[in-house]
Amino acid sequence: MALVWIAVCCVWGTVWLFIKLGLRDLPPVSFAGIRLAIAVAVLLPFVIARRRGFPRRGRDLAFVAGTGLLLLGLNYALLFWGAQFIPSGLTAVLQAATPVFGLAFAHFLLPEERFTLAKLGALALGVAGVAVIFSDQLRVAGWTALAGSAAVAGGAVCVALAYVVVKARGSHLDPLTLMTGQMLSAMIPLLAFGFAREGNPLHFRWTTTATASLLYLALVGSVAAFGLNYWLLRRMGAMKLLLMSIPEPLIAVVLGALVLGESLTARTALGGALILTSVAVLLPRRDAAKTTATGGSDA
């Protein structure tokens, strides 16, 4: 269980690198929408072949669409809009607060994941580690930057709420169908908005790097990573799954140094130590055994 969590966390850590590479040539909203369109094109035949189809009950359809718009639509829109007005380091810190929001939502929706000061303290340690790594970028200049910070934080709230609600109310749904329906629900408004504001995708600058980044994000960052996320969500607490948001910036920084030649500093080492301590406290091995015994099987 812990090994799968670490593997998925590493995959999410690479996503930021490929987003950075892809955004050199592609506009952000269309980039996100096309990424989901490719993922849906891959997943939909498997959903059809399994003959389970999409939920027929109105309540389930609304659940899939609502959580999809929250997790992949509204989150992406807020994140991409807000990130253009604030430093990338501040974006990373605000995104790292996702499990803190998850802890608050889980307290009310998941009886087995009640709020405790010990959990909050460990999460604060991890967020502080991310803040240490990017301490030279934690500045907000003017109302526009403040609005951008609020938007990025709002995206983190959307992610946290979506996963907690899926854990609390969506266990009866087939994970593959749920994931595909959520991507489809978010894909349509993202593509429509992108076409209206960013132009025809056929006219984009389709470089080799942009195409490779898009395919990686669609196949690995969406199909594989979201699939494993839901596999884990059936076996562990929502807050532990959301905990991935804390080490992801550290992984992204290390990858940036290895691939893009970006520098590593003493802040990275200190912040990394705080992050790893937080994860070690909040992701004990005994929880993996416990949730394996009580969690549902993947369909």
pLDDT one-digit tens code per residue, 166-180: 999 988 888 999 999
The answer on pLDDT for 287 being more than 60 is: no
Q: Which of 20-24, 88-92, 137-141, 216-220 has the largest mean confidence?
A: 216-220
For position 53, what pLDDT does the model report?
67
Domain with 156 in it:
2-284
The domain tally of the chain equals 1
Under a CB-based contact definition with an 8 Å cutoff, are residues 209 and 55 in contact?
no
Which pLDDT band, with edges at 50, 70 and 90, does 289 fall under?
very low
For position 108, what pLDDT does the model report?
92
> Looking at the domain assignment, is residue 291 inside a domain?
no
CA–CA gap between residue 133 and residue 196 (Å, rounded) = 38
Residue 108's nearest CA partner among 239, 232, 220 is 239
> Looking at the domain assignment, is residue 22 inside a domain?
yes
pLDDT one-digit tens code per residue, 30-55: 999 999 999 999 999 988 887 766 77
DSSP 224: I
> Looking at the domain assignment, is residue 297 inside a domain?
no
Rounded mean pLDDT of the chain?
86
CA–CA gap between residue 55 and residue 61 (Å, rounded) = 6
The answer on pLDDT for 288 being more than 80 is: no
5 vs 89, higher pLDDT = 5
> Looking at the domain assignment, is residue 298 inside a domain?
no
> How many CA atoms within 13 Å lie on the side-chain side of 202?
0
pTM: 0.84
pLDDT one-digit tens code per residue, 230-273: 999 988 888 889 999 999 888 888 887 787 677 778 888 999 99
pLDDT one-digit tens code per residue, 277-286: 999 888 774 5
> Looking at the domain assignment, is residue 299 inside a domain?
no
> Looking at the domain assignment, is residue 134 inside a domain?
yes
